[in-house]
Every structure is written in structure tokens, then in C-alpha cells.
Structure 1
Amino acid sequence: MNVAVLVPVKAFAQAKQRLADVLSPAERRRLAQTLAEGVLAVARDVPLFVVCDDEEVREWSERHGAQALWTAELGLNGAVDDGVRSIAAQGFDHIIVSHADLPLPASLTGIARDGTATFVPDVRRDGTNVMSFPLDRPVPAAYGSGSFDRHCDAARAAGLRVEVRADARLALDIDVASDLTHPLLREVLPTWLPTIPVNPFTQQR
């Protein structure tokens, strides 16, 4: 398969608003950028694209080896769909779409399966952290509450074989404060987040 990876990245200054009770604006910005850099790093050997509508993110993406696709005023779903069409037009036949806030993305590029739509739900089995599908039968982006079921239904309606990947690490994302208490994050939390209870460095202060 000729596979590409697509990552939608929000302006860092606007990211992680639901962590406002535990993190300062500067910490939220830094966390969003750190997580996104981790996702791009694991996909560095695959053609990599970022959809964005922020000039800082566009420049950051290109520094990290990704081709930035400008998608202003389209919203998340419109931006992903537009990015998918652009990537298909470049001759790729399969795509992996990943959220940018996965703290443990190491297995990201291994989920693509020929002729199959693969979905990794979040830990609540509500959202879709990662999805992969053939570009001749694209799955429309339907992010938001309940997106996992919507994406699976759309793939089946397109006649695709559907695989649900139970990947405990890819299922982790960081949206709310309780996400930061997951045991698997003890080894990867940035040491500059002193307000996070599971950060081992917090206990030393």
C-alpha cells in the first residue's frame, strides 16, 4: 500500500481549553505542541501531512517534516475531508488519520490494512483517536461526541471491511484533567507539568 498519515493540528494557543482548571495557558500551549511533535515523530518514515489554519502551525509542521495543507474556516471535519481529498489527488491509496494529542503513539503507522477501514476508539469508546481507510472509498470525518460509531457505520455503508483495533496506547488522548491520571502516562508526562498529580516530579517538590 502507498500510505500517508494525516494529522489535524489546532493553533497551539487555542488547544487544550478543557485543561484550564489545572494548567496555565502557557502550559496548555506547550503540552499541545509536545504531544503533536510526538505524533509526527513516529510517522517520520511515512509521507506526512498536517491540516491547519494557523500560520505558526504551518511553519512548525514543515520544520518537522510534514507537508502543511491549509484548510481555513472549514472546521475539524471539513479540514480532514479536504486534506483526504488532497492526499488522494497526490496518488496515495491509503490513509491514516490521527489526532495530535496522543501521548503514546508508537504503534500509529502499523494500523493500515489493505481494503479495510480500521478504527481505534478512545478509552471511553466514544471518540475516534485513529482511523485508516483506502482512499478509493474514503470515510467522511464525523468527529465529535459519538464519532466512533458514526465512522464505523459510514465505513460499512461504503462496503468496507471494518476492523476495530483495541490498542490501549493509541486509545489514550489528553482532553480533560482525569486523562492525565492514567497509569500508562507515569513514564511519559513532561516534568514541567507540576500540577499533574501522577507526575512523579510533583512528589519531589
Structure 2
Amino acid sequence: MNVAVLVPVKAFTQAKQRLTDVLSPDDRRRLARTLADGVLAAAGEVPAFVVCDDDEVRDWASSRGAHPLWTAELGLNGAVDDGVRSVAAMGFDHVIVSHADLPLPSSLTHVARLGAATFVPDCRCDGTNVMSFPLDRPVSASYGPGSFTRHRDAATAAGLCVEIRVDGHLALDIDTASDLTHPLLREVLPTWLPTIPVNPFTHGYT
């Protein structure tokens, strides 16, 4: 397969708003950028594209060897769909779409499966952390609460072979303060994060 990785990245200054009670604006920005760094690194040799509408994110993507795709004023779903069309127009035949806030993304490129649509739900089996599909039968982005079911059903309706991938690492994302307490994150949270009262594992970090 000729595979591409597509990552939607919002402005770092606007990211992680649900962590406002436990992290400062600067720490939220740094955390969002650190997590996105890891997702792009997990793409390895697979060409990576970043859909964005922020100058800092565009410059960051270029500095990491990714290809920025400018998608202003389209919203998340519109931006992803526009990015998918752009990647298809470049001659790729399969795409992996990943959220940018996965703390353990090392298995990202293993999601693509020839001729199939693959979905990795979040820990609550509600959101879609990663999905991949052939570009001749793209799955329209439908992020938001309940997206996993909508994406799966859309792929099934399109006649695609559907695989649900249970991956304990890719299922992890960081949206809320409680996500920071997950035992698997003890080794990967950046050490510059301040002590977070809700997370006993970060006591002593500076």
C-alpha cells in the first residue's frame, strides 16, 4: 500500500482547554506540542501530513518533516475531509487519520490494512482515536461524541471490510485531568509538568 498519515492539529495555544483547572496556558501549549511531536515521530518513514489553520502549527509541521495542509475555517471534520482529498490527489491509496494527542502512538502505522477500514476507539469506545481506510472509498469524518459508532457504520454502509482494532496504547488520549492519572502514562508524561493534584504519579515533578 502507498500509505499516508494525516494528523489534524489545532492551534497549540487553543489546545487542551479541558485541562485549564490543572495546567497553565503555557503548560497546555507545551503539552499539546509534545504530544503532537510524538504522533508525527510515530509515522516513521510513512509520509505525514498535518491539517491546520494556524501559522505556528504550519511552521512546526514543516520543521518536523511533515507536510502542512492549510484548511482554514473548515472545522475539524471539514479539515480532515479536505486533507483526505488532498492526500488522495497526490496518488496515495490508503490513509491513516490520527488524533494529535496520543501519548503512546508507537503502533500507529500498524493500523493500515489492505482493502479494509480500521478503527481504533478511545478507552470509552466513544471517540475515534485512529482510523484508516482506502482512499478510493473514503470514510467521511464525523468527530464528536459517538464518532466511533458513526465512523464504523459509515464504513459498513460503504461496503468496506471493517476491522475494530483494540489497542490499549492508541486508545489513550489526553483530554481531561483524569486522563493524566492513567498508570501507563507514568513513564511518558513530560517531566516539566507541574505537580497535578489529581494525579498522584506526578508528585515530585518539576
Q: SS of the counterpart of 1:141?
A: coil
Q: Which deviates more, 187-196 or 67-76?
A: 187-196
Maintained 8 Å contact 1:127/1:143: yes
How does 1:1-205 map onto structure 2 within 5 Å? Answer: 1-196=1-196, 197-198=198-199, 200=201, 202-203=203-204
Which residue type is aligned with residue 154 of structure 1? A
What's the CA shift string for 1:143-166, capped at 9, x where partnerless?
Answer: 000000000000001100110000
Q: CA deviation at 1:200?
A: 4.5
| Residue aligned with 1:137, SS | coil
Partner-residue secondary structure (3-state), 1:97: strand
Q: CA deviation at 1:99?
A: 0.1
- TM-score normalised by structure 1 residue count: 0.97
Deviation at 1:5, TM superposition (A): 0.2
| Contact 1:103/1:173 (<8 A) preserved | yes
Number of residues of Structure 1 aligned to a counterpart in Structure 2: 205
Take 1:118 and 1:157, find their aligned partners in 2: how far apart are those partners?
Answer: 14
Pick closer, same or farther for the CA change 1:51–1:199 going to 2, 3 Å.
farther
What amino acid does structure 2 have at the position aligned with 1:203?
A: G
Following TM superposition, by how much is the alpha carbon of 1:117 offset from its aligned partner in structure 2, in angstroms? Answer: 0.4
Task: Give the deviation of 1:116 after TM superposition.
Answer: 0.4
8 Å contact from structure 2 (residues 7, 100) kept in 1: yes
Check 1:124–1:200 CA distance in 2 against 1; reply closer, same or farther (3 A cut).
closer
CA RMSD of aligned residues (A): 1.2
Contact 1:191/1:199, CA 8 A, preserved across alignment: no
- Describe the SS at the equivalent of 2:192: coil
Does structure 2 retain, via aligned residues, the 8 Å contact 1:117–1:131? yes
Q: Specify the SS of the correspondent of 2:125.
A: coil
8 Å CA contact 1:23–1:195 kept in 2: the answer is no
Q: CA deviation at 1:193?
A: 1.1
| 1:153-190 C-alpha deviation (Å, 9 max, x unpaired) | 00001100110000000000000000000010011111
Residue identity matched to 1:80: V
8 Å contact kept, 2:19–2:176: yes
Shift of 1:82: 0.1
Q: Counterpart of 1:132 in 2: which secondary structure?
A: strand
Shift of 1:203: 3.5
CA positional deviation for 1:65: 0.6
Gaps of 5+ in 1: none
Contact 1:44 1:65 in 2 (8 A): no
Structure 2 runs not aligned, ≥5 long: none
